[in-house]
Amino acid sequence: MKKVFIIANWKLNKTRLEAQKWLAEFSNSNIQVPPSKEIVICPSFTLLPEVELGIHSLKDRITIKVGAQDVSKFSEGSYTGEVSAKQIKDFSEVVLVGHSERRKNFSENIETVNQKVRNTLEHGLTPVVCVSQLDEAKGLDLGAKSLKIIVAYEPIFAIGTGIPDTPENADKMAKNIKEILGEIPVLYGGSVSKFNVKNFTAMPHIDGALVGRASLDPHEFIAIIQNA
Ligand code: PGA
C-alpha cells in the first residue's frame, strides 16, 4: 500500500485559543489512522509550540507531525522578523516552501525557493515544495539531496476557489514532476475536500493532499484523512 501524506495548511488563520480548540477536538475524536497515512499540521510560526504540544499524545498511535508554512532564506543574523530553519527545527520536521501565495504576494522567485529548500535540507527538515506549473519544478536545484523533498502540485486556479483540478490532469502533472525530479512523493493541493480527496489519492502518481480551507475545521479535516 502506498504512503499517503495529508498536510493541513492553516495559512494566516487561528489564534492560540482557536488552535487549542482545534487540537482538543481533533484529539478527542479518537481518530483512527492506518500506518500508511502521515498527517502534518502547518500553523503560523506563533502556534508551532502549541501544535507540537497538542499532537504529542497522538504520536504513539498515529503518524502526525507539525510543519511550518515558510522559512527564511537566511541562516542566522541581522534579518529582523525572519525565522530560520535552525529555529524551526526546534518544533517541526516539515516546512512548506514556495507556496504560490508567497511567490505572488512576497515576490519569491526560484532563487529564493532554492535557497529556502537548501536551508531546510541542511537542517534535516523535509521541504514540501509547492509548484503550480512544471517550470517551477524544472527550476529546482536540489543537488545530492533531491530525493529528500516532497512536491505539492497546486494549480493557482484551484486554490481557495472550490474548483479543483481534475484528478486525471493532476495525476499527469504528478507523473511529469516525478520524471523531472525523481521518485519523490507528489501531493495534490487546491480545493481538496472530504468529497473529492479520494479521487486524487486513488490516482497512481499522487501521494497525498495539501489542504487549505478544509483543514481549518477539525471534523472536516478528520473526514479528509479518513476518506483519503
Ligand atoms: P485550498 O488551499 O485547499 O483552500 O484550496 C490549498 C493550499 O493553498 O495549499
Q: Tell me what the mean pLDDT of segment 57-80 comes to.
A: 96
If you average pLDDT over residues 26-31, what whole number do you get?
92
How many angstroms does the Cα of residue 10 sit away from the middle of ligand 1? 9
Tell me the helices (H) and strands (E) count for the chain, helix number first: 9, 8
Phi, psi of 13 (to 5 degrees): -140, 155
Nearest in space to 127 (alpha carbons), one of 98, 103, 102:
98
Ligand 1 within 6 A of CB of 127: no
Burial (CB < 10 A; 0-12, 13-18, 19+), residue 75, is middle
Question: What's the pLDDT score for residue 166?
Answer: 98
User: From the CA of 212, how far away is ligand 1's center (Å)?
Assistant: 4
pLDDT reported for residue 125: 97
How large is the average pLDDT for residues 153-168?
A: 98
Cβ–ligand 1 distance for 159 under 6 Å, the answer: yes
- Nearest Cα residue to atom 1 of ligand 1: 212
Task: Grade residue 145 by pLDDT with cuts at 50, 70 and 90.
Answer: low
Per residue in 35-59, pLDDT (tens digit) is 999 999 999 999 999 999 999 999 9
- Give mean pLDDT, residues 208-213: 98
Ligand 1 center from residue 118 Cα (angstroms): 24
**Cα–Cα distance measured from residue 128 to residue 98, given in angstroms and rounded to the nearest whole number:** 9
pLDDT per position as a tens digit, 121-139: 999 999 999 999 999 999 9
**Are the C-beta atoms of 10 and 43 separated by less than 8 Å?**
yes
Collapsing DSSP states into helix, strand and coil, what is residue 88? helix
Q: What is the pLDDT of residue 144?
A: 63
Residues 95, 67: Cα–Cα separation, whole Å: 5
Cβ of 154 less than 6 Å from ligand 1: yes
